[in-house]
Structure 1
Amino acid sequence: MTLTRRILMSRLGAGLALTAVAPLRAWSAVETQLGTARITSLSDGYLTLPASFMFGSIPQDELAPLVAHYGLQGDTLKPDCNVTLLQVEGRNVLFDAGSGSAFQDSVGQLVDALDAVGLGPGDITDVIFTHAHPDHLWGVLDDFDDPLFASARHMIGRAERDYWLDPATVDTIGADRASFAVGAARRLEALEELETFEPGDEILPGVAAVATYGHTPGHMSFEIRSGSEALLVVGDAIGNHHLAFARPDWPSGSDQDQEAGAATRVALLDRLASEQMTMIGYHLPDGGMGRVERGEDGYRFVPLGG
């Protein structure tokens, strides 16, 4: 597997019309080849999150050295959002659909990213969700609440679908995420042809679902394989390039089940490092495509081409 192209397009300074919204920094699309398949990481923009959302449950005396090491000072984190595009045998497959226009001003750029690689929403044949958080699901509907990818099959893990469509979820998920539940249910219900699958299912030729629960109750990753080579789309199971690698066993405030999320991270990083399998992480830098290396204490993310 080799990196074949890196596209950089700056949306900064694109005109006075953008001054009323949050500035959009440069986005990148990073591409690799896996057998006959082309896999591209497309940027949907970036999130703006309070640091306490991720770090709040970690003892501050243990956290401080790592925050300094990774240059994470300040009250705000701005993780990238990377949507994976798989092109193989006439299919254009998206893993997740981005945020759309209803979540944050700094995201919702997926249609522009698709346009830059010569595709439009009507060209997408399949949309496969890792999970139903806003930055992964809400872009599935257009501004008129119609499915944006009108010609596509839409697929999600059964456990994930059932969790977000359960009427009890909005009352049990916590006040700070109640809007996530309302938004997820509305969008999933709008997808009348939504298909489900189970862990281990081959949902498309050469694409297998891998259970990576914890970030959400039914979070899935996807192994794309061609012969002896494989790439793992991990979604938010490995949610950042710093603490998730340095201390994967620590709880993350972004995970709904922090204990299960940590156990999943530990197992995933061990597998990725042992097999030297390429990965794409939704919130990792440089397009999120790279490999995992073991260090003396923890792991580190090595971007392809970096």
Structure 2
Amino acid sequence: MRITRRTMLQGAAGVAAMFGQRASAVTEMDLGDIRITTVSDGYLSLPESFLIGDLPRDEARAILDEAGIAPGGFAPPCNVTLLRKGTQTVLFDAGAGPSFMQSAGRLPGTLAALDLSPEDITHVIFTHGHPDHLWGVIDDFDEPLFANARHFIGRVERDYWMDPRTPDTIGAARQSFVAGAARRIALLGDRLETAEDGDMILEDVMARMSAGHTPGHMSFEIGEGRALVAGDAIGNAHLAFARPGWPMPADQDPELAARTREALLEELAERGMPLIGFHLPGGGIGEVARTGEGYLYVPRA
């Protein structure tokens, strides 16, 4: 397996350095006849409470300190995964677009650095409907940005965001997520196809239910165990690995998400399967190693 790193779009690199983020770097991994590339959509700017919430603060803070996460805030990267094989050019998630956070929404520029335009994308496959994964699918004219692509999302996930009861149950902090997701799903219309757990969306892409972060969150196994695109099922490289059973405040169903995370980490460590995570450092491509109390994320860059 060969992995290389290079930096694109030098104009954006200064912004990345200012905030300690990889704004435009590209990380690549070859899986036989499949090339996996992660490209940056920027990063999020989040309060520390988004990480710690009601967790045991002293213990959580010690783990974060060891990981180099300073008190007060958190700026996770946003890694969009690109799969290329033959005539297929597949995106997993579409980034945030211009309407969520100023620090995100850079996907079109990073694709351009690879000499790819939105029209070159043949498939867009969503892990879930949160803003940083879905909102970038529509352009400034409310048209699908990836005009030639087939779009896929888990049926459970689509139904959740379109359910008229969801705004009353999701909580005030995520109210805008519902409106934004429902609007984009509606604009995609018949372009958006649905998948069930275990479906082979493409010859080398199998959908796997990994609920908890959202009710219908999907991960995607590439090439019968060659890699796993995990989306936000494993949402960071510190607390989620060191204490996978802790209920994380970022998850909509923290208890279910913890069970999902524990099962995935155990499987990834057992199988030696590369992990591709949307908010993991180093381009988001790495491996899972067991430690005494939990797991360790080992970037492969």
TM-score (norm 1): 0.93
User: Structure 2: how far apart are the matches of 1:144 and 1:23?
Assistant: 33
Q: Deviation of residue 68 (structure 1)? A: 2.1
| Residues 80-91 of structure 1: pairs in structure 2 closer than 5 A | 80-91=77-88
Runs of 5+ consecutive residues of structure 2 not aligned to the other structure: none
Answering whether residue 253 of structure 2 is matched by residue 254 of structure 1, we say no
Partner of residue 234, structure 1 = 230
Q: Is the 8 A contact 2:89 2:120 kept in 1?
A: yes
Answering whether residue 283 of structure 2 is matched by residue 283 of structure 1, we say no
Runs of 5+ consecutive residues of structure 1 not aligned to the other structure: 15-21
| 1:88-115 Cα deviation digits (max 9, x unpaired) | 1201100000000000000011011111
1:209 to 199, 207, 210: 207
| 1:65-123 Cα deviation digits (max 9, x unpaired) | 21221222221100000000011120110000000000000001101111111100000
| 1:196-244 Cα deviation digits (max 9, x unpaired) | 0100000101110011000000000000116xx5110000000000000
Partner of residue 95, structure 2 = 98
Q: Structure 1 residues 54 and 13 mapped into 2: Cα distance closer, same or farther (>3 Å)?
A: closer
Q: Is the 8 A contact 1:28 1:286 kept in 2?
A: no
How many residue pairs match? The answer is 296
Partner of residue 132, structure 1 = 129
**Identity, % of aligned pairs?**
56
Q: Is the 8 A contact 2:23 2:40 kept in 1?
A: no
Q: CA RMSD in A?
A: 1.7
TM-score (norm 2): 0.95
- Structure 1 runs of 4+ aligned residues shifted over 3 Å read 22-26
User: Structure 2: how far apart are the matches of 1:85 and 1:146?
Assistant: 21
SS in structure 2 of the partner of residue 101 of structure 1: helix
Q: Deviation of residue 25 (structure 1)? A: 5.3
1:293 to 265, 289, 295: 289
Q: Is the 8 A contact 2:21 2:77 kept in 1?
A: no
Answering whether residue 131 of structure 2 is matched by residue 166 of structure 1, we say no
User: Structure 1: how far apart are the matches of 2:31 and 2:132?
Assistant: 27
User: Structure 1: how far apart are the matches of 2:20 and 2:144?
Assistant: 27
SS in structure 1 of the partner of residue 288 of structure 2: strand
Q: Structure 1 residues 144 and 24 mapped into 2: Cα distance closer, same or farther (>3 Å)?
A: farther
